[in-house]
Amino acid sequence: MAFNMPLSSHASRAMSMRRRTDHRIIALIDDDRNILASLSLTLENEGYGVKMWHDGQTALHALLKEPVDLVVLDIKMPSMDGITCLRELRRHSSVPVIFLTSKDGEESEIEGLEQGADDYIRKPFSQSLLLKRIEALLRRSLLHQQETRKEAQKKATPLHIDTERHLCTWKGLHVALTVTEFLIVQTLARTPNAVISRDQLLDAAYGYASYVEGRLIDHHIKRIRKKFRDKDPQFNAIDTLYGLGYRYKDHKA
């Protein structure tokens, strides 16, 4: 007969942390098996997945086949030292790396940073400190990945709008828009593939207190299309939906 035992506070915390860390994998590379055992237990209790190696050569081959989210790397190891391992890893990967160094390893620390290490901690070290460094580095890495994705998305679309300088380009070509035209294009592009009514475009271009005739938007759209087609005769990114309004189609370059 199976019994449902209540979770201890430690186990509950571990489960919560596992959800929080979202199965991120930490690689531990150190020839000291006691450090590997102790640190892996700590990381697993914090919700991380852990992979361990006690020499750089084996670790490098494995990491090139199965990437991880962060590497904790000792410098002084047999077969392949941490500096060499990092140098080879950086030829293929930008994974965050924290070096573990000895107290007299200042030159190694400098060399490690020059080879692409993101941080280092000196032995003997506090596991609490290492956990904080790991969390901080993973946050930085996530932010960098998000910014990289945003930049890639910007490059993937032909329309670029610079709100600070009020500049608009289409496929790299500057499109000279009036302030009103710019506000209309900006409003359409802010929600790609969504239908924007004439009233919404009027509000964006003239303000809520305006009493401008709604059909004026149609004339603005006509001029906007002409300006874009002067740059690209195949331009068809602004649709008219009769009785509803207009829509900007999110084309990819």
pLDDT higher than threshold 60 for residue 163: yes
**Residue 110 vs residues 19, 82, 93, 173: alpha-carbon distances, Å:** 36, 13, 20, 45
pLDDT in tens, 126-157: 999 999 999 999 998 888 777 767 666 656 68
pLDDT in tens, 206-216: 876 456 566 78
- Residues 71-81 have a mean pLDDT of 90
Per cent of the chain over pLDDT 70 is 82
pLDDT higher than threshold 60 for residue 119: yes
**Long-range contacts of residues 101-107, Cβ cutoff 8 Å, at least 24 apart:** 101/75, 102/75, 102/76, 105/75, 105/76
pLDDT higher than threshold 50 for residue 82: yes
Tell me what pLDDT residue 11 has: 42
Confidence of residue 124 (pLDDT cuts 50, 70, 90): confident
Strands lying side by side in the sheet with 159-162? 159-162, 167-170, 173-174
Confidence of residue 78 (pLDDT cuts 50, 70, 90): confident
9 versus 129: the higher-pLDDT residue is: 129
149 versus 166: the higher-pLDDT residue is: 166
Backbone angles phi, psi at 167, to 5 degrees: -115, 145
pLDDT in tens, 224-241: 999 999 999 999 999 999
Tell me what pLDDT residue 19 has: 43
Tell me what pLDDT residue 253 has: 42
**Residue 114 vs residues 3, 84, 87, 121: alpha-carbon distances, Å:** 55, 12, 10, 16
Tell me what pLDDT residue 204 has: 87
Start-to-end Cα distance in the chain = 62
Confidence of residue 105 (pLDDT cuts 50, 70, 90): low
Task: Please state whether the predicted TM-score (pTM) of the whole model is above 0.95.
Answer: no
pLDDT higher than threshold 90 for residue 115: no
pLDDT in tens, 83-100: 999 999 999 998 999 998
